[in-house]
Amino acid sequence: MTYPRARSTIEEMARYQPNLSAPSTGRIIRLSANEGAFGPSPKAIKALNSVAQHIHWYPEEEPAALAEALGSKYSLDPDRMIFGCGSDELIMSICQAYLDPGDEAIHTEYGFIMYPMSIRVAGGVPISAPDRNYTVDIDAVLERITDKTKIVFIANPNNPTGSYLSHTEVSRLHQNLPHTVLLVLDSAYSEFVVRNDYSSGAELVEISENVVMLRTFSKLYGLAGLRLGWGYAPKHVIDAIHVVKQPFGANRAAVSAALAALDDQKFIDKSVKHNEIWRTWTSTEFEKLGLYCLPSVANFLMVRFPSETGRTAVEAGTYLSNRGILTRGMSGYGASDYLRLSIGTQDEMKIVVKTVSDFLNEKVPSDE
């Protein structure tokens, strides 16, 4: 049969597949997408109700009030901000703006899977830099720089491993990059980090012409369903992204909720404290069961399961899903021995640990 064919690179790719549904008809515990444990701030919910009467109006091309609010909260220049339908849109737009066919863009071995996908969609060539112990290896990244390199993507903290790079390490990477290479620091989980040696990357944007910082309202702020991300970059980078990015990427409902969420410091502090307590508790409980958790500073854990039949991560994921608990398998990242799971409420984490314990203690069927 003859029919229009997509570009060869597109035909070779598989679509992104989240894990957001379970066969269970009872209670669903969603720990597969790193969503906020408490959902959105009550102030954000109230703001959503108030904006309903205006949703027939197009939003601003760029939400000036939100840019001003972010600038005030983080001491940033609102004129250097850009907003999109989640930071995913900004990642895709950066690739479209800066990659010609055949150009290379570097991502890390266990970096966010949207990086290589977006690079390929733009016609570029993704180059993977191996991690060291599931943490970004700066030297490995630098070794892969060529005259074809146009972008380097670094998730910090990293998804799905939960590891992070110190400000010193990120600065070392930037100092050794050619000025013609764009360094994209994806700081989607930065609000969860309580380490003195961490920085989101905003200060590098202030002193450089080749750094972009990306952030999102999907994680700590609990607004994933509204899809709102933002970037901070030099003005010439903002201008380039605007050319390829769809207009009106930040919808009215998302902007209204985001403004209210930024203003709810009590909710923010509660969420960060809860995450620290229950990530530590969950990791400790899993280790009591004989499992290994990668050290994490984000709102999720990457957990290694045994390789023996009946105890594997794949089987654990199925077991949990059948009981209404959604996690994220890591086979797509080449880490099939691991599951990634978000930190939910206190009740949810206790149920998860109990269910994993039940799974590990089930009698494995004999081959006889």
Do 136 and 165 form a contact (C-beta atoms < 8 A)?
yes
The DSSP symbol for 250 reads S
In the chain, where does DSSP find H-type helix?
8-11, 42-51, 64-74, 86-98, 114-121, 138-143, 167-175, 202-207, 235-244, 252-262, 265-288, 313-322, 346-361
For residue 51, give every residue at least 6 positions away whose Cβ sits within 8 Å of its Cβ, in sequence order, or none.
252, 253, 256
pLDDT at position 306: 96
The encoded tokens of residue 158 equal 């990293």
Helices 346-361 and 313-322 meet at what angle, rounded to 10?
Answer: 120
Instruction: Quickly list DSSP for 43-103.
Output: HHHHHHHHHGGGTTSPPPSS-HHHHHHHHHHHT--GGGEEEESHHHHHHHHHHHHH--TT-
pLDDT at position 1: 77
pLDDT at position 196: 95
Strand partners, 230: 83, 215
Q: What residues of the chain score a pLDDT lower than 50?
A: 368
Q: Which of 350, 358, 292, 287 is nearest to 322 (CA)?
A: 358
Q: How many CA atoms lie within 13 A of 308 on its CB side?
A: 8
Do 97 and 240 form a contact (C-beta atoms < 8 A)?
yes
The DSSP symbol for 108 reads E
pLDDT at position 6: 81
Q: Which of 28, 21, 31 is nearest to 343 (CA)?
A: 31
Q: End-to-end distance of the chain based on CA atoms, in angstroms? A: 50
Specify the CATH class of 42-262 in words: alpha beta
SS3 107: strand
Helices 265-288 and 346-361 meet at what angle, rounded to 10?
Answer: 20
CATH number, span 8-39+266-361: 3.90.1150.10
CA 262 – CA 255 distance, rounded (Å): 11
What are the boundaries of each domain within the chain?
A: 8-39+266-361, 42-262
In this chain, the answer to whether the domains covering 8-39+266-361 and 42-262 adopt an identical fold is no
pLDDT at position 16: 74
